[in-house]
Amino acid sequence: MDPEKKNTNYQENDSGRIEISNDEWKKILPQEVYHIAREKGTERPFSGKYNAHFEGGIYNCAACGNPLFKSDAKFESSCGWPSFFDPISKGSIIYTPDNAHGMQRTEVQCGRCKAHLGHVFEDGPPPTGLRYCINSVILNFEAPTKSLS
């Protein structure tokens, strides 16, 4: 991240909604995160750092820090993007219709800052039958901290 840019909206323990302009997001997000989050871009399949990542922990929104998915809901789908079958909580994700590119899909956005994350499909594993297909660029992974004993 550019040291000149300071994202004071990034909070992993704050679920309050964020409503700022795209111009402001552009000032505080790295270009690749801005492209996915605000311009609804997508990364090339099989190129993301979390596609084949299966360490235990939490995946947060890279724009605002909102917890999105637990690692135990991640699975190998072979679609080229990180796939999850269940969000961390009901309010962590917003669902919106996406009819772009001649397709009927459901876009998933961050429940806190409305960043574009990817799409959800009904071809996932039990127990939900859903596949949340998410761009790695919009995710930050947080490994559990080891307790001192």
In 1-149 the beta strands, taken as DSSP E runs, fall at 58-61, 67-70, 74-75, 83-84, 93-98, 105-110, 116-121, 131-134, 139-142
Q: Among 144, 106, 99, which Cα is nearest to 123's?
A: 106
Q: Among 36, 4, 27, which Cα is nearest to 110's?
A: 36
Known catalytic membership, residue 79 = no
In b/e form, how buried is each residue of 113-145, taking b as 16+ CB within 10 angstroms? bbbbbbbbbeebeeeeebbbbbbbbbbbbeeee
Query: Of the listed 61, 64, 110, 133, which one is catalytic?
Result: 133
Catalytic residue positions, numbered: 133
